Amino acid sequence: MLLRLFGLWTRAILRMRGVRRAHRKLGGFDVRFYRHGAPDAEPWLLLHGLGSTAHTWHATISALGDDCRLWVPELSELGGTHGPSPAMNVRQATTAMTELIGAESPGRPVTVCGISLGGWVAVRLALERPDLVERLVLINCGGFGDQDWPSIERMVRVRTLADVDRLYSALFLDAPTVLRLSKSMFLDAFRSPAVEHVVATLSQSDAFDERDLSAIECPTQLIWGRHDGLFPLATGRRMAAAIPDARLTVLEAAHGVHWEFPHKMNEAIAEFRQRTKGRRP
């Protein structure tokens, strides 16, 4: 029932934006994803975070408009993707997204934009296949190794409604009404096999450090909530200092900036697009 609700909700929201649903066999998964925009427009790949689906990006899809070609994949069965596990972990997602770019944008690198876990995959993609990544946008990005990972894991292992309240305090300054009214669905999502699989299979080998980040040569925009209770702003500052061609924009937000302040997030993305227009690493 949960999977059906997530899938129907996502499809309904994105259909209103004129977005078309597709699927491909990628990295051993039958990956559902959404396409939008003219085939020859500026290419972008948008990666959602843990326990979420492609609906994360509905406001950004509208903001980027018809002058971008967008691909918005589902990284777990919550959004209709199926395979050997209920969700793609970091390594599996990196492999699948490498294949997606190769199939959908052959010969043309893309801007990869990721939130939280999606940002982690974006970094790994830029490190392993820099030829495929034109630019990076990392929003409250996961994956930096030097953090209090036991505390982070305890935060995202949600078992009760009290745990939801605790996680909400890390995600939001003031949780949006739709999320305050749907705590039970949020609880079900974070207790789902999809989230459990990702958390259980995270590995130190998937993480990155400042030395890794120093190898990223493409223009990079980091967007961080000053009050992020999951990945603190200090982490964003260290990442921005390590990446040679990076800029950090700090918003008065927590982790879930895409929920609370999508317009501020999209303004930062638009400024980055304008600043880096026509640039190549």
Report the chain's mean pLDDT, rounded to a whole number.
92
Band (240; pLDDT cuts 50, 70, 90): very high
Q: What is the chain's Cα-based Rg? A: 17
Is the separation of the CB atoms in 21 and 90 below 8 Å?
no
Alpha carbon distance 281, 270 (integer Å): 19
Longest dimension (CA), the chain: 49
Across 256-264, average pLDDT: 94
Nearest CA to 195 among 115, 76, 74?
76
Rounded to whole angstroms, how far apart are CA atoms 178 and 46? 23
**Token pair 């977005």 in the structure block, residue:** 19
Distance CA 122, CA 229 (A): 21
| Pairing mode, strands 110-115 and 42-47 | parallel
Question: What is the reported pLDDT for 79?
Answer: 92
The pLDDT score that the predictor gives to residue 4 is 53
Sign of CA dihedral 143, 146, 148, 150: positive
Can you tell me the mean pLDDT for 251-256?
96
pLDDT in tens, 174-198: 988 888 888 998 999 999 999 999 9
pLDDT at 122 over 60: yes
Domain ranges of the chain: 2-275
For 233, residues 6+ apart whose C-beta sits below 8 A from its C-beta are 224, 225, 226, 250
Fold classification of 2-275 is: Rossmann fold (3.40.50)
**Distance (Å, rounded) from C-alpha 141 to C-alpha 239?**
9
In DSSP terms, 266 is beta-bridged to none
Per-residue pLDDT reduced to its tens digit, 123-149: 999 999 999 999 999 999 999 999 988
pLDDT at residue 204 greater than cutoff 90: no
Question: Which of 55-59, 159-163, 208-212, 275-279 shows the lowest per-residue confidence on average (mean pLDDT)?
Answer: 275-279
- Asked if pLDDT for residue 10 goes beyond 80, the answer is no
Does residue 115 carry a pLDDT above 80?
Answer: yes
Evaluate if residue 280 carries a pLDDT over 60: no
Is the distance from CB of 216 to CB of 244 less than 8 angstroms? yes
Residue-level length of the chain: 281
Please compute the mean of the pLDDT values over residues 72-80 and round it to a whole number: 95
